[in-house]
Copies of this chain bind each other. A is one copy, B any other.
Amino acid sequence: MRVKKHPDIRSGELLDCAQRLFFAHGYDNTTINDIIREAGVSKGAFYHYFSSKEALLEAIAARLARGSLEEIRPLLNDPTLNAVEKLNSLFAGSRRLKVELAPQLRTMFDVIFRPENIVLFHRVDQAVTRIVVPLLADVLREGTEEGLFDAPDPEAFAEMLLLFRLSLSSMMHEALRKSREGNIEQAVKMLDDRLKLYGTAIDRVLKLPDGTIEVAETGFVRALLDDHKKGSE
């Protein structure tokens, strides 16, 4: 007899299983049949939780984002940090996590940044955005109240600031391609320059001096791309 499990546990196990297979063999090389065989559930049970393989990847991305935010949350509640420091900690935290999770993220990036995967990209992106916007809006509200910067409509400003990330996606796809071809220096410079502009755009929208918010960081882009290069050798 099959052991009855709580639905959240069952769907969590499916996610663990799918994540392990996607990251081990690649998203394209893993079928729904592989996942249900490995997880030991019926096809019916699978489709009860997830409508498609894309839905699984979306859920994995949302879970990674939620997990990252849990790690970052203590920073956001730290009373010794002002809102600018929190924004910078947020970006630094997300960079640190990106490097730590690079092997997993590489699989995700490789899939979602392909131009033909726009629907998937959009789903993953929306899932992550829904988690990040309220949190960013809180920091923007705090900084505006503290008089550190100026975001008159914190939710709308959070959405607009996050839109800048979309200017990175085609650039990221291109940089991954270049680094795979061995043009790592070119790829690093391209991505690094765009991350600096991203930071400057945020500074300006919030009326902070250029260079206040650091989205880029020496070494981060190289670590991410170098790791990517290693991984595909």
Give chain A's interface residues, CB within 8 Å of chain B. Answer: 118-119, 122, 152-153, 156-157, 159-160, 163-164, 166-167, 193-194, 197-198, 200-201, 204-207
Contact = CB atoms under 8 A, between A and B. Distances in A.
This chain: how many copies in the complex? Answer: 2
Given A122-B122, A205-B201, A159 B163 contact: no
A131 B57 CA distance: 33
A153 B156 CA distance: 25
Contact of A160 (B122, B156, B159, B167): B167
A95 B164 CA distance: 24
A121 to B, nearest CB: 9
B164 A197 contact: no
B167 A159 contact: yes
Given A118-B119, A118-B122, A119-B118, A156 B163 contact: no
A156 B204 contact: no
Nearest to A200: B152
Contact of A163 (B118, B166, B204): B166
A193 B194 CA distance: 30
